[in-house]
Amino acid sequence: MRTLAKIFIGLTASLAAFVATANAQTYPNKPIRMIVSIAAGSVTDVIMRAAASELQATLGQPLVIENRGGAAGILGGQSCAQAAPDGYTVCIIYHSTLSFNPIIFSKLPYDADTDFVPVARLFFLIEGVFVSNALNVKSVPELKAKALADPTALNYATLGEGSYPDLFLKWLNNQWGTKIVGIPYKGGGPAAQALAANEVQLTRFGVGNFLGLVEGGRVKAVAVSAAKRSALLPDVPTFAEVGWGNFPGQGWWGLAAPKGTPKDIVAKLNGTFVKLFTDPKFMAFLEKQAVVPAATTPEDFVAFLKEDRKSAQALIDIAKLPRAEYKAE
């Protein structure tokens, strides 16, 4: 009887493996939903829409983008975690989703360590600090003087409590002894428009969200987070040059899938996305969006995430951010 049971278990496992392989060979045979954890119009949204257009020819099916911005990536992470693990939902996540949120919040609607299959890191952000023209400052020293003159007068755009822009604000308030107020937005695009309209007076986001406004003279860039000055903003000093070189970490975006997504499908997704994100023509497009291409294997992405969690903890310690209970918006 035990022998029959072992044979049955072996046959079941073999059948499951055969079905998974067959599914991967025919995958995809219908449109793929791509959850993007940021508002439409933000630089990551622009990049992923361009990627979706390129990948449709490769995959033979459209990638339908669903923007789930807000709450420091928690809404997008929740949607991803709750999706069917069949390869027909892929998720564009970032540093808040898997590195910061599990440290900052209790009672998240997803488990950052078990609810996702990391597929590939895709790119790093080049970020900048931008100010409203109405503030009438042209440099970080002038910004600091303005902030110190009236410590509560300035508003700053974030992606919500605990987001990377919010943590930078808390760090900056600690450094300067100010009480600049954070205002949440659902993405870099909405934050950029708010800055141009002087709804907020400063912020830190990916440079790509602000290039058009800077070139149009509607906002001012005062620093960039790159190791050297950006060719897109050659006159703007780096964080190190303005005294912010000890601020840890770097923003990134990557591709994940719901837990349980078959390994063969994960491998196919990885190969497809990595091929695009290492294509010279697409890389040139990425550089114009002020991001740094950085595609990886799933295994390298997993290793990177472990180290990035450590960097997130260091930043949270510097910002002196207490752990909070997440409350749905």
pLDDT tens per residue across span 52-100: 999 999 999 999 999 999 888 999 999 999 999 999 999 999 999 999 9
Indicate whether 91 belongs to any domain: yes
Are 270 and 310 in the same domain?
Answer: yes
pTM summary value: 0.86
Indicate whether 159 belongs to any domain: yes
Q: What token pair was written down for 169?
A: 């604000």
**Model confidence pLDDT, tens digit, residues 146-178:** 999 999 999 999 998 888 899 999 999 988 999
For residues 237 and 239, give the distance between their C-alpha atoms in angstroms, rounded to a whole number: 7
Indicate whether 165 belongs to any domain: yes
Are 102 and 170 in the same domain?
Answer: no
* pLDDT attached to residue 94: 95
Indicate the number of domains in the chain: 2
Mean residue pLDDT of the chain comes to 91
Are 139 and 201 in the same domain?
Answer: yes
The range of the structural domain enclosing residue 187 comes to 127-224
For residues 274 and 266, give the distance between their C-alpha atoms in angstroms, rounded to a whole number: 12
Are 163 and 209 in the same domain?
Answer: yes
- Angle made by CA atoms 84, 89, 92, in degrees to the nearest 5: 130
Indicate whether 4 belongs to any domain: no
CATH number for the domain that contains residue 303: 3.40.190.150
Q: What token pair was written down for 318?
A: 């510097």
Are 131 and 176 in the same domain?
Answer: yes
Are 82 and 116 in the same domain?
Answer: yes
**Model confidence pLDDT, tens digit, residues 282-326:** 999 999 999 999 999 999 999 999 999 999 998 888 777 888 899
Angle between helices 140-149 and 164-176 (to 10 degrees): 70
* pLDDT attached to residue 18: 46
CATH number for the domain that contains residue 184: 3.40.190.10
* pLDDT attached to residue 3: 56
Q: What token pair was written down for 118?
A: 């990391």
149: Cβ–Cβ under 8 A, 6 or more apart, which residues?
none
Indicate whether 21 belongs to any domain: no
Please return the burial class of 20, using the count of CB atoms within 10 Å of its CB with bins 0-12, 13-18 and 19+: middle
Are 144 and 99 in the same domain?
Answer: no
Are 142 and 214 in the same domain?
Answer: yes
